Chain A
Amino acid sequence: MYSSELIKGTLKTIILKLLSDSNEMYGYELTQRVKELTGGKIQLTEGALYPTLHALEAQGVLTTNVVNVGNRIRKYYSITPTGKQLANEKVNEYAEFIHTMTFLLGLKPNMG
């Protein structure tokens, strides 16, 4: 599992990308999807996930849909067109970042 410091800067990108690839998801589902896709190497903590989801919603990047599930309420998150654009920007920025870091840390010395 990666350190929370590494994950912290990428949380928004992960959430936006997952939501732009699917119709709608709820919080628990998001954590499970990340866990499943990364083989448990990245685990989103609830303490970071929900504040970020709320902030993205306030920003107008995400919209919500509330559904009654048994005895409780479940909030489904889906991405807005602006959010999709932001997701693309974030993913591209991150790709660039990896490219630079690879070079900077000498992981591929013959590159570039």
Chain B
Amino acid sequence: MYVLDKAQVDYILNDIRRNGIETEELQYNLLDHICCVVENEMSPDQSFEAVYTNVLPRFFKHQLREIQEETNLLLTFKNYYAMKKVMINSGLFSAVTFTVGSILKLAHLPGAAILLILGIASMSFVFLPLFFLLKSKEEKVKSAKIILGTGVVFGILFCLSTLFKVMHWPYGDILWFFALGILFFIFLPIFYFTGIRKPETKMNTILASIMILTVGGLLFTLTNLRPNLNKESALSASNANYSSCLEKTELLNISRYKQQTIDSLHVKNEVLRREVGIIIGTINEVKNGFYASVSDGQKMSELELCERFNGDFDKVANYFFKQTKMNPEEDKLKSHLPNLKVALGKFKEFVGSNYTKNVASILDLAGGRRLYKTGLKQVSWEYLYFNAVPFEVAVRNLNQLQLEIRIIESSCIQ
């Protein structure tokens, strides 16, 4: 049997490399194999080049690179079936948890939040990335891969923004706008312009683009660009109502104070007048501090603030309870709720002992019961009126306090 010399072996090795076999181990495998075939088939009267040229084409259909490509494919796809299984199961899991979670949420039953989080997380971080990995391997054209990629990114952002919105987490809006931006400005143009170039896909592309545009547009319409107009007008009407009532009661009280002619009563009423003045002032201070805190120092109207913190209960709770981001100027208001509560307590005591008046409702400092997902719970006065409430409700409660104090004042001096 003929034995190839070093030069001939090197020649084959270089040829293998030139023909696109990149993996070293594969190069040596093929080298040995080709050498074996050549050595076995070469007769003494034949030239090495002739035999080699004859043997090599047996290794491939079109070009030698195919072996490298097939190896890469098998190595990348060694977990293909496992990935496919995980993808299908995670998709199924997402669909079920998301549906059940949504139903529970609608029915205000416990477990909704955890199911929604699990469902959307598995959709965004398992199903969609795996879907992209597996599908992009099947797509041969680069543009199809880009369309698939942007589509998957849109899908992930869409799912996450829905979760953030539903859970009232911050930055849900930003995610949502990113998702729509990708859909309208990246995905749709690439999809449309690659699709209409080919006559066979032109019609379907136009139809699909119109549908994407319509559905995307509808979703955009659903976006809460501005806070609910009803909410705005309700706040404005309620504020106007409060100030008008407050003004009327104040005027009424002034005239009643004037009507007092008995000296002993006059002295007592003057003390009341001063007490009321102090407490109304304290509430005003709390109100202003609250506005300043949530507007980050900018001058904003109540409506603008309401618009800015639409649905952001945390801002309110932060101001009244956490107090971590306060600047020194505002720091003196740090204990405003406890201070206010003490002042209100004293006021109640004063009114009770001097005028034998009973005060109830928002001035009931014992707190009350609030409905939680797990049922009714007894909470403190501060929590009942100032924790986990929207901006406008916190403002309304402060207004309500002032009004009720004026009404109590009024009933004391009548």
- On A, residues with C-beta under 8 Å from B are 26-28, 31, 45-48, 50-55, 58-59, 66, 69-75
Asked if B169 is an interface residue, CB under 8 A from chain A, the answer is no
Q: With contacts A28-B36, A55-B78, A72-B9 known, is A50 near B28, CB below 8 A?
A: no
Q: Is the Cβ of A54 less than 8 Å from the Cβ of B28?
A: no
For A54, list chain B residues within 8 Å (CB): 23, 25-26, 71, 74-75
Asked if B326 is an interface residue, CB under 8 A from chain A, the answer is no
Q: How far is the CA of A104 from the CA of B32 in the complex (A)?
A: 43
Q: With contacts A28-B37, A70-B3, A71-B9 known, is A51 near B32, CB below 8 A?
A: no
Chain A nearest CB from B38 CB (Å) reads: 11
Q: Is the Cβ of B70 less than 8 Å from the Cβ of A51?
A: yes
**Interface SS, B side:** helix
Contact of B71 among A45, A51, A69 (CB under 8 A): A51
Q: Is the Cβ of B67 less than 8 Å from the Cβ of A51?
A: yes
Q: Is the Cβ of A47 less than 8 Å from the Cβ of B70?
A: yes
For A69, list chain B residues within 8 Å (CB): 32
Asked if B6 is an interface residue, CB under 8 A from chain A, the answer is yes
For A70, list chain B residues within 8 Å (CB): 3-4, 9
Task: Identify the closest chain A residue to B28 (Cβ).
Answer: A73
Contact of A75 among B25, B36, B73 (CB under 8 A): B25
Asked if B171 is an interface residue, CB under 8 A from chain A, the answer is no
Q: How far is the CA of A27 from the CA of B29 in the complex (A)?
A: 7
Q: Is the Cβ of A71 less than 8 Å from the Cβ of B4?
A: yes
For B4, list chain A residues within 8 Å (CB): 70-71
Chain A nearest CB from B341 CB (Å) reads: 69
Can you name 25 A-B pairs with beta carbons within 8 Å?
A27-B29, A28-B36, A31-B33, A46-B58, A46-B67, A47-B60, A47-B61, A47-B67, A50-B26, A50-B30, A50-B67, A51-B73, A52-B74, A54-B26, A54-B74, A54-B75, A55-B78, A58-B75, A70-B3, A71-B4, A71-B10, A72-B9, A72-B31, A74-B32, A75-B28
Task: Identify the closest chain B residue to A26 (Cβ).
Answer: B32
Q: Is the Cβ of A50 less than 8 Å from the Cβ of B29?
A: yes
Task: Identify the closest chain B residue to A4 (Cβ).
Answer: B61
- Interface residues in B267-297 by Cβ distance below 8 A to A read none
For A48, list chain B residues within 8 Å (CB): 70
Asked if B35 is an interface residue, CB under 8 A from chain A, the answer is yes
For B78, list chain A residues within 8 Å (CB): 55, 58-59
Q: Is the Cβ of B74 less than 8 Å from the Cβ of A51?
A: yes
Q: Is the Cβ of A71 less than 8 Å from the Cβ of B5?
A: yes
Chain B nearest CB from A50 CB (Å) reads: 5
Chain A nearest CB from B25 CB (Å) reads: 7
Task: Identify the closest chain B residue to A43 (Cβ).
Answer: B58
Interface bits B66-83 vs A (CB < 8 Å: 1, else 0): 110011011100100000
Contact of A55 among B31, B59, B67, B71 (CB under 8 A): B71
